[in-house]
Structure 1
Amino acid sequence: MTYTEDTPDNPGITRPILSDMPELLCPAGNMEKLETAVTYGADAVYLGAGDLNLRSAGAGFNWEDLPAAFELCRANNVQAYFCVNAYPKEKDLSKVRADLAKLKECPPDGLIIADPGVLMLAAEILPDIPVHISTQANTGNSEAARFWQKFGASRVNLARELSAADVADIAGKCPGIELEMFVHGAMCMAISGRCFLSAWLNDRSANMGRCTHPCRFEYKATGLRVEEKTRPGQDVWEAVEHDGYTEFFAAEDLCLVHHVRMLAKLGIASLKIEGRTKSSSYLAQVVDVYRTVIDKAKEGGPLPGIALAELTNAATRPLTTAFFKKSGPSTIAMPPSKEERRPVVARVLEQRDDGSWLLSVKARWENDCDMHVLVPGLERPFIKAGDYSFEATNGEPRDVVHSGTQAVLRCDNPAIAPGLFFRKL
Structure 2
Amino acid sequence: MSNTKKIPELLSPAGNLKKLKIALSYGADAVYGGVSHFSLRNRASKEFDFDSFGEGVRYTHSLGKKIYVTINGFPFNSQLKLLESHIEKMASLNPDAFIMATPGVVKLSKKIAPHIPIHLSTQANVLNVLDAEVFYEMGVKRIVAARELSLKDAIEIKKALPNLELEIFVHGSMCFAFSGRCLISALQNGRVPNRGSCANDCRFDYEYYVKNPDNGVMMRLVEEEGVGTHIFNAKDLKLVEHIPAILESDVIDSLKIEGRTKSSYYAGITALAYRAALDDYRDSNFVLDRYENELLTLKNRGFSDGYLIHRPFEKLNTQNHKTAISEGSYQVNAEVSEDGKFALCRHTIRLGESKEIVSPNIDEVSVGKSELGEIYSENGKKYMKFYKILLENGKELESIHSGNENKIVLPITLPAFSFLREKIE
TM-score range, shorter chain: 0.7 to 0.9
One of 197, 203, 207 as aligned partner of 2:194: 207
Deviation at residue 160 of structure 1 after TM alignment: 0.5
What amino acid does structure 1 have at the position aligned with 2:228?
Answer: Y
For residues 82 and 397 of structure 1, the distance between their equivalents in structure 2, rounded to whole angstroms, comes to 44
1:348/1:63 CA distance change after superposition, 3 Å: same
SS class of match (1:246): coil
Deviation at residue 395 of structure 1 after TM alignment: 1.5
1:326 lines up with 2:325 in the alignment: no
One of 267, 280, 287 as aligned partner of 1:296: 280
For residues 326 and 168 of structure 2, the distance between their equivalents in structure 1, rounded to whole angstroms, comes to 30
Structure 1 spans left out of the alignment, 5+ residues: 1-14, 224-238
SS class of match (1:148): helix
Deviation at residue 244 of structure 1 after TM alignment: 3.5
For residues 241 and 164 of structure 1, the distance between their equivalents in structure 2, rounded to whole angstroms, comes to 40
Match of 2:367 in 1: none
1:262/1:377 CA distance change after superposition, 3 Å: farther
Deviations 1:193-222 (A, max 9, x none): 121111111111111111111111111123
Match of 2:40 in 1: 54
Match of 2:262 in 1: 278
The count of residues paired between Structure 1 and Structure 2 equals 388
Structure 2 spans left out of the alignment, 5+ residues: 211-221, 364-379
One of 238, 242, 247 as aligned partner of 1:264: 247
For residues 76 and 259 of structure 2, the distance between their equivalents in structure 1, rounded to whole angstroms, comes to 26
Contact 2:233 2:319 in 1 (8 A): no
What amino acid does structure 1 have at the position aligned with 2:310?
Answer: K
Deviation at residue 407 of structure 1 after TM alignment: 2.4
Q: State the percentage of identical aligned residues.
A: 32
What amino acid does structure 2 have at the position aligned with 1:296?
Answer: D
Contact 2:101 2:121 in 1 (8 A): yes
For residues 205 and 253 of structure 1, the distance between their equivalents in structure 2, rounded to whole angstroms, comes to 22
Deviation at residue 420 of structure 1 after TM alignment: 1.2
Match of 1:119 in 2: 106
For residues 173 and 150 of structure 2, the distance between their equivalents in structure 1, rounded to whole angstroms, comes to 17
Contact 1:189 1:250 in 2 (8 A): yes
1:391/1:181 CA distance change after superposition, 3 Å: same
Deviations 1:61-115 (A, max 9, x none): 1112122110110111120100000011111111211101112321211000001
For residues 240 and 288 of structure 1, the distance between their equivalents in structure 2, rounded to whole angstroms, comes to 40
Contact 2:392 2:406 in 1 (8 A): yes
Contact 2:342 2:408 in 1 (8 A): yes
Query: Aligned-pair RMSD on alpha carbons?
Result: 2.5
For residues 45 and 402 of structure 2, the distance between their equivalents in structure 1, rounded to whole angstroms, comes to 20
Match of 1:8 in 2: none
Deviation at residue 166 of structure 1 after TM alignment: 2.7
What amino acid does structure 2 have at the position aligned with 1:407?
Answer: K
Contact 1:319 1:333 in 2 (8 A): no
User: TM-score of the superposition, structure 1-length normalised?
Assistant: 0.85
What amino acid does structure 1 have at the position aligned with 2:393?
Answer: N
Match of 1:9 in 2: none
For residues 330 and 344 of structure 1, the distance between their equivalents in structure 2, rounded to whole angstroms, comes to 32
For residues 16 and 349 of structure 1, the distance between their equivalents in structure 2, rounded to whole angstroms, comes to 36
1:419 lines up with 2:417 in the alignment: yes
The correspondence of residues 10-409 of structure 1 with structure 2, limited to 5 A, is: 17-60=3-46, 61-222=48-209, 243-266=226-249, 267-326=251-310, 328-329=314-315, 341-351=329-339, 357-376=341-360, 381-383=381-383, 385=385, 388-403=387-402, 405-409=405-409
Deviations 1:358-395 (A, max 9, x none): 11222232234322111236877321545x53212212
Deviation at residue 332 of structure 1 after TM alignment: 9.8
Deviation at residue 54 of structure 1 after TM alignment: 0.6
For residues 200 and 248 of structure 1, the distance between their equivalents in structure 2, rounded to whole angstroms, comes to 17
